[in-house]
Amino acid sequence: MMQNKQAEILVGLFVAAGLAALFMLAMKVSNLGDLADQQGYQVTANFQNIGGLKVRSPVSMAGVRVGRVANIKLDPNTYDAVVTLNIYSQYDTIPLDSSASIFTAGLLGEQYIGLEAGADDFYLADGDEIMLTQPAVVLEQIIGQFLYSQAEGN
């Protein structure tokens, strides 16, 4: 009788640990794991196409996460996507002429913004705009262009 109760307790602890692991995985995948947003400064960047970029997507530089996407909206005049980036305050020496590109993590992973440092002596500050941007590469457009060029060739 005592061994049966111990086995039930062990199974219960194992199930609880499994549920906790699934919860942590869900939080990590959904980018909600960082419940406390780090304070920083906000800069904007205009993109012709953001693909599947989402609010709270990572902003990285040299593989290090330096911020998150804070807001995405459409500019009614240019019809470009205006992306607001929240850069963490400890990264306050990013050159003013840095460029921003939208990349995909893996083949079908989430999209993120990658910053590449420029050579300016002045640094990005709150309210600045990143002027050099490269839009997202949309797989469907590439496949469509390839198929169209193949059809033209025949």
Q: What secondary structure does DSSP assign to 65-131, as a single string?
A: EEEEEEEEEE-TTT--EEEEEEEETT----BTT-EEEEEESTTT--EEEEEE----SSB--TT-EE-
Q: For residue 63, what are its two tokens?
A: 């593989």
Query: What is residue 47's three-state secondary structure?
Result: strand
Which residues are CB-neighbours of 19 under 8 A, at least 6 positions away? Answer: none
Based on the domain organization, do 11 and 64 belong to the same domain?
no
Indicate whether 108 belongs to any domain: yes
Phi-psi region of 38 (alpha: psi -120 to 50; beta: other; left: phi over 0): beta
User: What residues make up the domain containing 102?
Assistant: 40-143
The predicted-structure confidence for 84-105, as pLDDT tens digits, reads as follows 999 999 999 999 999 999 998 8
Number of structural domains (the chain) is 2
**pLDDT class for 17, splitting at 50, 70, 90?**
very high
Based on the domain organization, do 90 and 134 belong to the same domain?
yes
The predicted-structure confidence for 102-116, as pLDDT tens digits, reads as follows 998 876 678 999 999
Instruction: Answer yes or no: pTM beyond 0.85.
Output: no
Which residues does residue 95 pair with via DSSP β-bridges, in sequence order? 123
